[in-house]
């Protein structure tokens, strides 16, 4: 099971959920599962970065996952 951790601004829209485990094989399935449970997360997920097993991605849509992967969602850091 993949462990998903939501930062506080995500958990506010996810009924207070901070962590969950999902039986998924890839990042696209994580997004689909989160949107199915909490459609209101869609705008945040579209503007977020994600850390998968310690590596930060701006776009991880095609990243495969291991059965023990950990995913952390966070706001993107933008610079000028």
pLDDT confidence of residue 80: 59
Distance (Å, whole) CA 80 – CA 20: 34
pLDDT confidence of residue 64: 85
Q: What is the block-wise mean pLDDT of the chain (80 residues), using blocks of 10 residues? A: 92 94 93 96 90 87 88 77
In angstroms, the Cα distances linking 38 to 17, 28, 45, 55 are: 10, 15, 11, 25
pLDDT confidence of residue 37: 97
For the chain, domains (ranges, CATH) are 2-75 (3.10.20.30)
pLDDT confidence of residue 31: 94
């Amino acid at each position: 099971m993949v462990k998903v951790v939501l930062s506080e601004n995500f958990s506010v829209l996810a009924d207070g959920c901070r962590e969950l485990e999902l039986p998924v094989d890839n990042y696209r399935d994580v997004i689909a599962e989160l949107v199915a449970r909490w459609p209101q997360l869609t705008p945040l997920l579209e503007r977020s970065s994600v850390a998968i097993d310690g590596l930060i991605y701006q776009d991880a849509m095609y990243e495969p996952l291991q059965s023990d992967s950990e995913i952390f969602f966070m706001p993107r850091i933008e610079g000028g």
